[in-house]
Structure 1
Amino acid sequence: MLKKIVVLFSILLAAVTTQAQTADEVYNKYFDFNKARMDQNSDLALTLGQDIIPNADKLKANTRLNFYYAIGNLFENDGQSVKAIEFYQKVAAAMPDYYVAQRALGYLYLKDVQDIGAKLNAAQSDINENKRLTRLYTIAAKKALPYLKKAQACDPTDETLSIIKSLYKNMGDTQGAATLNARLKVLSKNCVDLLDDK
């Protein structure tokens, strides 16, 4: 019995140690990950990035944020919006003034708004369904708006501004639309466009 326990413990220990990576190993993979991205080898970068994710805590905080943004971008470009949002959210939570992540989140959440909007247009004759979809539209729009506003405040574009105004109009939020410029001005005071990797 003791022999079986020792063998089982040895196997378990071997499995754990093969899964755990040292900080140097994680940084080596991070270097390879960045090289693959620079070489525009998205498939390899995505594979390497997914290997890094369980051990990303071994990266320094700034490096980890860069990694999270980069892997989020790879997931987004691969059509994996849910995973992209997960990593962009980590960046936005740690660096709320980094408007590049804010813009990415805003446009990813906007996809839900657009999907609900299309269903809402198709349900014009069904009063109950129209009310339900209108509520869902408002919830989705309110989720996208803070991110879009930060992006617009820091890096204004006609497209983003038009989307923001359209969301307010479609929600019937005249006060939000009327105070938009003042809020954008406040949001524009702290803008970060590059993450420090050191």
Structure 2
Amino acid sequence: MFKKIFFIVAVAIASVNAKAQTADEVYNSYLDFNLARLEGRTGEALELGEQIMPNVAKLTDKARTSYYYSMGNLYENDKQSVKALPLYEKVVAAEPNYYVGQRALAYMYGKKVEELSKKLNASEGAEYKRLYDLYVAQVKKTLPHLEKAQACDPSPETLALIKSFYKFMKDEQSLKTLNARMAVMSKNCIDLLSDK
């Protein structure tokens, strides 16, 4: 009995030690992940990225933010939006001026807006009111990210979408101040993440 318990404890310790990586080992894995991603080896990049995830805290703050964006992008392109969304949220929280992350997050939130819009158009009565409130809340969640992306990388389509949301909500004040807000936001734009 004692040998059996000793064996189980030894195996458990060995498996924990096997998974625990030093900061240098995690960073080397991160470099391998980036190389696979840049060379278009998507499946391998996803696998390497998922191996990094349990030890991601050992990366520097900037490398971690870059990793989160890259993994989010890989997940999104692999039709795993549920996994991509929280990673994009971490990117925007860490680097709010990174407009590429803002646009990615706006796109993810926009999917929910589109979903709610279809349900809203097919509803009536109390259900319409409930869905309308959900729709407006989701639009309000999406707009700041769209505005930052538009401020840093203007697009007629994005601007039209922003304006249509404000018009739908009958928010004339936000429409009037849109250009001034975006002018301020445009002064602090980051288009590339550095991991150094």
- Band of TM-score, shorter chain: over 0.9
2:32 is matched with: 32
How many residues are aligned here? 196
Give the stretch that moved more between structures: 136-145 or 166-175: 166-175
Q: How does 1:1-198 map to 2 (within 5 A)?
A: 3-123=3-123, 126-198=124-196
Structure-1-length-normalised TM-score: 0.93
Query: Partners of 2:86 and 2:111 in 1: how far apart?
Result: 15
Counterpart amino acid of residue 178 in structure 2: L
Query: Partners of 2:144 and 2:63 in 1: how far apart?
Result: 26
1:7, distance to aligned residue in structure 2 (A): 3.0
| Moved segments of 4+, more than 6 Å | none
Paired residue secondary structure (1:93)? helix
Paired residue secondary structure (1:179)? helix
Counterpart amino acid of residue 193 in structure 1: D
1:4, distance to aligned residue in structure 2 (A): 4.6
Q: Deviations 1:123-168 (Å, cap 9, x if unpaired)?
A: 2xx2111111110110110110111111111111111111111111
CA RMSD of aligned residues (A): 1.4
Counterpart amino acid of residue 134 in structure 1: Y
Query: Partners of 1:3 and 1:120 in 2: how far apart?
Result: 65
Query: Partners of 2:164 and 2:79 in 1: how far apart?
Result: 25
Counterpart amino acid of residue 94 in structure 1: A
Counterpart amino acid of residue 25 in structure 1: E
Query: Partners of 1:19 and 1:184 in 2: how far apart?
Result: 46
Paired residue secondary structure (2:187)? coil
Query: Partners of 2:135 and 2:172 in 1: how far apart?
Result: 16
User: Which blocks of at least 5 consecutive residues in structure 1 are unaligned?
Assistant: none
Counterpart amino acid of residue 121 in structure 2: N
Query: Partners of 2:35 and 2:193 in 1: how far apart?
Result: 18
Query: Partners of 2:48 and 2:165 in 1: how far apart?
Result: 38
Query: Partners of 2:24 and 2:95 in 1: how far apart?
Result: 25
1:11, distance to aligned residue in structure 2 (A): 2.0
How many percent of aligned residue pairs carry the same amino acid?
Answer: 56
Counterpart amino acid of residue 34 in structure 2: N
Query: Partners of 1:7 and 1:159 in 2: how far apart?
Result: 63
